[in-house]
Chain A
Amino acid sequence: MIPLAHLSDDVLVDYAAGTLPQATALLVATHLALCPDCREEVRLLEEVGGAMLAERVPEAPADHLLADCLALLDRPVTVQEQPARYCADGVYPRPLLDVLPADGLTWHKRAKGLAEIRLDTGPGPVAKLLKISAGQPMPRHTHSGREFTLVLDGSFSDDYGVYRRGDVAVATEGEIHQPIAGAERDCICLAVVEGSLSLTGPIGRVLNLFVRF
Chain B
Amino acid sequence: MAAGSARILVPVGASSTFRNTVAYAVRAARSGVEAGAEAATVHFVSPARGRTDSGNLGDDIAADLLDRAVVWAREDLDRDADDDPAVEIRTAIVGADRYLFSPGDYADAVAEYAAEFGLDRVVVDPGFQPGGNAPMLLPFERELARSSLTVEEAPTTRRTERVPLVSRATLSKGVATFGATYAFYLLIAGSVTPFNLATGALTALLAAAGFSSVSFLTSPSPRRTGARVLRLLLFVPYLVWEITKANLSIAYIILHPSLPIDPEMQRYRAAVWGGFPVTTLGNSITLTPGTLTVDVGREGLDIHTLTGGARDDLAAGGLERAVRFVFYGRSAARIPSPAERGSISAVDDTDTDTDTGSGGSVVIDAVAASRPSDSRASADDSDPRPAAPDAERTGDPGADRPTEPAAESGEEVE
A and B, one complex?
Answer: no
- Which B residues are within 8 Å of any A CB, using their own CB? none
